[in-house]
Amino acid sequence: MLSDNRKAVASMSTHTVTASAPHERSITARPRVALAFAVALLPAQFAGAWVLTISSGPKAAFLQVGNGSYSGTYQSGGTPLNNATVNTVSVTVPASAVGSGTAQQMTSNSTQSVSFYDNFAVCNPPIQVYIGGWVRTPTGTGSAVLSVTSPAALTSATTPATIPFTQISWTSTANGNTAPDIPAGTFTGGTQALRTIAAGTWVENCHTFFYANTAVVSAATYTGQVTYTLVLP
């Protein structure tokens, strides 16, 4: 983990959401964003992560996965904007390789490379998908939980066959820092906690997704969608 000592660079819809609740203790900030996956079966870098500091203020949480929107940068006084785009991560497996057990690297249609914290070039799309968010409270205390929910399987409109979502995993890296602060993992076909984000911090990473390719299924395009959630009690 590195703190906010990186140098800003000049020159990122997966989807930005912000939720706020000024002072009411009973309100939960729960931004959610989604990421779509597709696996098509054909018929017969610089590792790291960032944990950065933000100021205290009205209760709010911000979450971004892939392409997002911000009015400027945080360091220039910008604020988050909603972005409803759902980016897609996909791979096409040649017929000769289907079910071989050789993992296939996936790519996305996200173009997000820089952080809205300071315009630092954090990720390298289309291989990497930006994932990050911040948590703010009036006192600078408390924390939020970042989680992801995946369905049991990817499905196809042209075949009853399915591919378990557990076939998709990810590595966690970022330019300029060697600590994977949003850890690597594998989808479970359910809800899984990724990390806790403390109030007063902005955490960001770049995930690279892989299809395990151990399933032998019919030639088709299989799709599914996962949802990332950041909950601040």
List pLDDT tens digits, range 49-99.
489 999 999 999 999 999 999 999 999 999 999 999 999 999 999 999 999
Average pLDDT value over all residues in the chain? 84
Residue appearing with tokens 């019919």: 218
Whether residue 1 is contained in a domain is answered as: no
Give the span between the Cα atoms of 37 and 17, in whole angstroms.
20
Whether residue 10 is contained in a domain is answered as: no
Here the CATH number for the domain that contains residue 199 is 2.60.40
pLDDT band of 42, cuts 50, 70, 90:
very low
pLDDT greater than 60 at residue 41: no
Whether residue 186 is contained in a domain is answered as: yes
List pLDDT tens digits, range 100-121.
999 999 999 999 999 999 999 9
Whether residue 6 is contained in a domain is answered as: no
Q: How many domains does the chain have?
A: 1
Whether residue 110 is contained in a domain is answered as: yes
Whether residue 98 is contained in a domain is answered as: yes
Domain of residue 72, residue span:
16-231
Triad 211, 129, 37: Cα angle to 5°: 40
Whether residue 8 is contained in a domain is answered as: no
pLDDT band of 184, cuts 50, 70, 90:
very high
Q: In 27-142, which ranges are E strands?
A: 32-41, 50-53, 59-65, 69-70, 80-81, 88-93, 104-105, 107-108, 129-136
